[in-house]
Amino acid sequence: MNSYAPQITPRPSAATSALRLLSPQEVLRDALARYHGRIALVWSFGSESAVLLHMISRIDPATPVLFLDTGQLVAQSLDYRRNLVARLGLTDVRDLRPAYADLAVTDPRGDLWKTNTDACCHIRKVLPLDVALEGFDAWITGRKRFHGGDRLRLAVEERTPSHVKFNPLANWAKEDLDAYVAEHDLPPHPLVEFGYASVGCWPCTQPVEEGQDVRAGRWAGQDKTECGIHVTRATPGADADLGDGL
Ligand code: SF4
User: DSSP characters for 74-137?
Assistant: -HHHHHHHHHHHHHHT---EEEE---HHHHHHH-TTS-GGGT-HHHHHIIIIIHHHHHHHTT-S
Rounded average pLDDT over 28-49: 89
Classify strands 39-43 and 65-68 as parallel, antiparallel or unpaired: parallel
List pLDDT tens digits, range 154-190.
889 999 889 999 999 999 988 999 999 999 999 988 8
Cα of 121 vs centre of ligand 1, distance in Å, is 5
The pLDDT, as a whole number, for residue 205 is 82
List pLDDT tens digits, range 80-133.
999 999 999 999 999 999 999 999 999 999 999 999 999 999 999 999 999 999
Q: Is pLDDT of 195 > 80?
A: no
From the alpha carbon of 218, which atom of ligand 1 is closest? 1
pTM metric for this prediction: 0.82
Rg (the chain; Cα; Å): 17
Q: Is pLDDT of 1 > 70?
A: no
Could you give the dihedral angle defined by the CA atoms of residues 154, 19, 55 and 91, in that order, rounded to the nearest 10 degrees? -90
Annotated catalytic residue, options 120, 121, 201, 227: 227
Q: Is pLDDT of 234 > 50?
A: no
